Amino acid sequence: MSNKPENLTLITDDGLRLDGRRADEIRPMKIEVGVLSRADGSCYLEWGRNKILVGVFGPREAHPRRSQRADSAVIRYRYNMASFSVEDRARPGPSRRSIEISKVSREAFEPVIMAELFPKTAIDIFVEVLQADAGTRTAAINASSIALADAGIPMKGLITSCAFGKVDGKIVLDLNKEEDNYGEADFPVAMTQDGEITLIQMDGNLTPDEIKQGLELVKKGCKEILEIQQAVLRKKFETPVEEVSEET
Ligand code: CDP
């Protein structure tokens, strides 16, 4: 978030944003499932200009052994930005930012992954941001949810994620790059299918009323994303009736 150039208007008088969206609209999302043959589960997701690839491995024996837990699987989440994913080359290797995003994203999944079924194992979620355009942590969580389901990891439900923010004094859903750069606040959220919040972060300043208004928008955004996620998984896993009858 930086100082906005004086002549830059992010929202027009008739309520349209620079990319033509209204305040309550998310960017177009496209999801492909099962794109990596060596991973147990995988997903490629585009959201606006973000491009994210996720590979899930496990449950598999956790190494090193001292990392194992006798009563459950350990969940590991690694968020990484490709050096070519941003305008100024991203320095390879972990940064404060990527370590923080990995931690909060892992925590966003812990309430739904049934880790207790797989003692002494590890479930690894590897996120590669190929192209970043604001909202990569939320995009990566949406993709990870699909990759985990693709890997057959037992979960109580999917996790869905979306941010709201404040731009030109207005509360809007799913910030694009200009809004992220020059907006007044960014507020990423992740939630379960039942609307229980598993990640909440805030950059900038918001009043309690603005947060309330933003959370309503995020609920709407997450509902739309959940429908996209469910449609993709249904398509992948549903068995055509003809195939079943042919085999029997
Ligand atoms: O991506 P997200 O909104 O979750 O995280 P952020 O830290 O708020 O970053 C916002 C955006 O800034 C990213 O999506 C990238 O487009 C950009 N960025 C960058 O250009 N270089 C970095 N080293 C980190 C982020």
Band of residue 99 on the pLDDT scale cut at 50, 70, 90:
very high
Q: From CA 137, how far away is CA 45, in angstroms rounded?
A: 12
Cα of 137 vs centre of ligand 1, distance in Å, is 9
Cα of 86 vs centre of ligand 1, distance in Å, is 8
Any ligand 1 atom below 6 A from CB of 174: no
Cα of 235 vs centre of ligand 1, distance in Å, is 32
Q: What is the pLDDT of residues 137-186, one digit of tens each?
A: 999 999 999 999 999 999 999 999 999 999 999 999 999 999 999 999 99
Please tell me the predicted confidence (pLDDT) of residue 245. Answer: 62
Q: What is the pLDDT of residues 1-25, one digit of tens each?
A: 778 888 889 999 899 999 999 999 9
Please tell me the predicted confidence (pLDDT) of residue 178. Answer: 95
Any ligand 1 atom below 6 A from CB of 143: no
Q: How much is the ipTM here?
A: 0.99
Sign of CA dihedral 205, 169, 172, 7: negative
Please tell me the predicted confidence (pLDDT) of residue 238. Answer: 86
Please tell me the predicted confidence (pLDDT) of residue 4. Answer: 83
Q: What is the pTM of this model?
A: 0.95
Please tell me the predicted confidence (pLDDT) of residue 2. Answer: 77
Residue nearest to atom 14 of ligand 1 (CA): 134
Please tell me the predicted confidence (pLDDT) of residue 31. Answer: 98
When pLDDT is averaged across residues 32-41 and rounded to a whole number, the result is 98
Q: From CA 161, how far away is CA 139, in angstroms rounded?
A: 7
Interacting residues of 76 by C-beta distance below 8 A, sequence separation 6+: 106, 122, 123, 124, 125
Q: Which atom of ligand 1 is nearest to the CA of 203?
A: 8
Band of residue 243 on the pLDDT scale cut at 50, 70, 90:
low
Interacting residues of 139 by C-beta distance below 8 A, sequence separation 6+: 45, 47, 50, 52, 161
Cα of 237 vs centre of ligand 1, distance in Å, is 34
Please tell me the predicted confidence (pLDDT) of residue 246. Answer: 60
Per-residue pLDDT for 247 more than 60?
no
Q: What is the pLDDT of residues 188-235, one digit of tens each?
A: 999 999 999 999 999 999 999 999 999 999 999 999 999 999 999 999
Is residue 34 within 8 A of residue 150, CB to CB? The reply is yes
Q: Which atom of ligand 1 is nearest to the CA of 50?
A: 14
Q: From CA 184, how far away is CA 102, in angstroms rounded?
A: 24
Please tell me the predicted confidence (pLDDT) of residue 5. Answer: 86
Residue nearest to atom 12 of ligand 1 (CA): 134
Residue nearest to atom 19 of ligand 1 (CA): 86
